[in-house]
Amino acid sequence: MDKNRVSALRTPQFPGAVLFDAYGTLFDVYSVGLLAEQLFPGQGQALGLLWRDKQIEYTRLVTTSRRGPARESVYQPFWELTRAGLRYACKRLGLTLSSEHEQQLMNQYRHLSAFPENREVLQQLKSRGIATGILSNGDPEMLGIAVRSAGLDGLLDHVISVDSIRQYKTHPDAYALGTRALGLPASQVVFVSCNSWDALGATWFGYQTLWVNRYNLPFEELGTQPLRTGPNLREVLAFFTP
């Protein structure tokens, strides 16, 4: 029997809700590379990759750090960390980032391309009466624009931002926002992410997890695996198939 199927049989077959990560999972963070390539020929892909890596590194830095004797929070909203990551990436690559180019790239980040299967999967979950939501590092304004731009606002029951607690994933308090909003224990919720570190953090928290491995990468080598792995969001429907 398929190993994923065996694992699934050991857990509740029909969870009560599905939470999706936003950036990288519902929205293609690397779609900014097309515009970046137009602005910086030959450097678009490199800029997109480094920008994303630095953005995530900054979320971890501000979550785990405190300033001065009073241990003040150094939290900054995701939008500002995204801007800081862009500026760093350009400096690292030796690119001159004008204010006009920065505005263009940041605006593009507000309207990232959605993955093509999103609507179909969300519609199927809705038709089955499954509660759905986003649980994201993105701040509320960013998420609102991204969801509306992708035409998904009528298909999501919850759009949850970690901004309310000023702690980014993988902090357990960030994952706890999902269970609080849904009124369900983590074991009855599927958490879906394309980011392996996020899928791992959610697994440790207690969610049933799906890692969407769009880029055929290895999973994290820390002794824990997600419940399921699949190439796209359609794999989430397997949680609700007898």
Predicted pLDDT at 203: 98
Predicted pLDDT at 10: 40
Predicted pLDDT at 200: 98
Count H helices and E strands in the chain, helices first: 9, 8
Predicted pLDDT at 13: 54
Q: How far is CA 209 from CA 17, 21, 40, 235, in A?
A: 12, 11, 38, 11
Predicted pLDDT at 4: 44
Domains in the chain, start-ordered, CATH in brackets? 3-28+114-240 (3.40.50.1000), 29-110 (1.10.150.240)
Residues of the chain with pLDDT under 50: 1-12
**Is 53 labeled as catalytic in the residue annotation?**
no
Predicted pLDDT at 214: 93
Predicted pLDDT at 236: 96
Residue type, 214: R
- Catalytic hit among 21, 28, 163, 198: 21
